Each structure stands twice: as C-alpha cells, then as structure tokens.
Amino acid sequence: MREATLKRWLNREYESEKVEKLIGKIENGFEYWFTFVIHPGVEPTNNRAERALREHVVQRKIVGTLRNGKDVNS
C-alpha cells in the first residue's frame, strides 16, 4: 500500500470512537510503522527488547513483593 493511500484512509472521518482511537495511534507513529520495511535489519516486532527486559521486570516484582510484607501465597 502506498503512503498516500494510507494517509487518505487516516484523514477520513469515522463514526466509531474505537476506530478514531486506532487512527490516532497510527497517525502518531506513522513515520515509524514501516521502518522494518525500509531498513531490512530492523525487526517488525519489539520481541527482542521485551525479552531483554523480562528478567529485570521479574526481579523488580519479586523485590517489591518482599518489601511490601504481604505473603505471596495468601
């Protein structure tokens, strides 16, 4: 799909609030949505970044649980 065609779809009026919200998200990140197509080394998802952060998130949650004094098994 060409950029101009996609922009025409984005500039339309939609009755559904959910569709308008989705259109807003697409518009806000428009210049980044297809980076992976233009630059072959870029992955289309953020899975690698999410996996890299996962251990730190789990550790933070464990430490937070230990600090709040609540029993996890209660």
On whether residue 18 sits in a domain, the answer given is yes
The predicted structure's pLDDT at residue 35: 86
The predicted structure's pLDDT at residue 71: 58
On whether residue 59 sits in a domain, the answer given is yes
The predicted structure's pLDDT at residue 1: 55
Total structural domains within the chain: 1
Q: Which domain holds residue 63?
A: 3-68
Report the C-alpha gap between 57 and 22 in whole angstroms.
28
On whether residue 73 sits in a domain, the answer given is no
Q: 72: pLDDT confidence band, cut at 50, 70 and 90? A: low
Report the C-alpha gap between 24 and 12 in whole angstroms.
12
On whether residue 74 sits in a domain, the answer given is no
State how far the alpha carbon of 58 is from the alpha carbons of 27, 31, 65, 67, 74, in Å. 33, 32, 11, 14, 19
On whether residue 8 sits in a domain, the answer given is yes
Q: Which of 21, 22, 29, 30 is nearest to 3 (CA)?
A: 30
- Per-residue pLDDT tens over the stretch 10-61: 899 999 999 999 999 989 988 888 888 888 888 888 898 899 999 998 888 8
Whole-model pTM over 0.75: no
